[in-house]
A = this chain, B = another copy of it.
Amino acid sequence: MKRYLLTPGPTPIPSEALLAMAKPAIYHRGPEFKEVLAEVKEGLKYLFQTDREVYFFTSSGTGSMEAAVCNFLCSGDKVLVVQGGKFGERWRDICMAYGLQVDSIDVEWGKAVDPEEIKSRLEDDPSIKAVFVQFTESSTGVKHDVERIAQITGPLDQTLLIVDAVTGIGVYKIETDAWKLDVVITGSQKALMIPPGLSFICVSDKAWRFAERSNLPKYYFDLRKEKKAQDKNENAYTPAVPLVMALRETLRLIRTEGLDQVVERHARLAEATRAAVQALGLELFAPESPSNAVTAVKSPKGMDSSRLIKHLREKYSITFAGGQDRLKGKIFRIAHLGFADRFDVITAIAGLEMALYDLGYPIQLSAGVRAAQERLLK
Bound-complex Cα distance A25 to B5 (A): 8
Stretch at the interface among A93-101, A117-125, A148-156: A93-101
Q: Which residue of the partner chain, among B23, B62, B238, contacts A237 with CB atoms under 8 Å?
A: B62
**Chain B, residue nearest A31 (CB):** B313
A50 within 8 A of B: no
Whether A24 contacts B13 by the Cβ 8 Å rule is yes
Q: Mostly helix, strand, loop or mixed at chain A's interface?
A: loop
Residue A282 interfacial (CB < 8 Å): no
Most buried by B among A13, A196, A220, A222: A220
Tell me which of A37-45, A177-185, A211-219, A367-375 binds B.
Answer: A211-219
A319 CA to B61 CA in the complex, in Å?
32
CA distance A285 to B36 in the complex (A): 33
**In the bound complex, CA of A220 to CA of B218 (Å):** 11
Indicate whether A238 sits within 8 Å of B319 (C-beta atoms), given known contacts A58-B197, A220-B63.
Answer: no
Q: Quick one: given A19-B22, A220-B59, A319-B30, are A10 and B195 in contact (CB under 8 Å)?
A: no
User: Which of A105-113, A239-247, A342-350 is the contact stretch?
Assistant: A239-247
- Neighbouring B residues of A22 by C-beta, 8 Å: 18-19, 21-22
A58 touches B58 (CB 8 A): yes
A323 at the interface (CB under 8 A from B): no
Q: 5 tightest A-B contacts by CB?
A: A197-B240, A22-B22, A60-B237, A196-B238, A21-B21
Query: A179-199 interface mask toward B, CB cutoff 8 Å, 1 = contact, 0 = none?
Result: 000000001010000011100
Q: Complex Cα distance A119/B216, Å? A: 34
Chain B min CB distance to A378 (Å): 30
Number of interface residues of A (CB under 8 A): 56
| 0/1 string, A300-330, CB within 8 A of B gives 1 | 0000000000000100000101000000000
| 15 more A-B residue pairs beyond the given contacts A58-B63, A59-B59, with a C-beta to C-beta distance below 8 A | A3-B24, A18-B23, A18-B24, A22-B22, A27-B319, A57-B59, A61-B238, A62-B238, A93-B219, A98-B217, A189-B238, A196-B240, A197-B197, A216-B217, A242-B242
Q: Which of these, B9, B27, B221, contacts A238 with CB under 8 Å?
A: B9
| Chain A to chain B contacts (Cβ below 8 Å), 6 pairs | A13-B25, A21-B21, A58-B59, A94-B219, A197-B242, A217-B217
User: Are A10's CB and B30's CB within 8 A?
Assistant: no
CA–CA, A241 and B187, complex, Å: 14
| Integer count of this chain's copies in the complex | 2
A70-B66 Cα distance, complex, nearest whole Å:
14
A10/B97 contact (C-beta < 8 A), A27-B319, A59-B58, A195-B25 known: no
Q: Are A11 and B25 neighbours in the complex by a CB distance under 8 Å?
A: yes
A28 within 8 A of B: yes
- Which of B61, B237, B240 has a CB less than 8 Å from the CB of A195? B240
Name A67's closest neighbour in chain B (CB-CB).
Answer: B220
Interfacial chain B residues near A170, Cβ < 8 Å: none
Contact indicator B58/A97 (Cβ below 8 Å)? no
A239–B196 CB distance below 8 A: yes
| A139 interfacial by beta-carbon distance below 8 Å | no
The answer to whether the Cβ of A7 comes within 8 Å of any Cβ in the partner chain is yes
Q: How far is the CB of A305 from chain B (nearest CB, A)?
A: 14
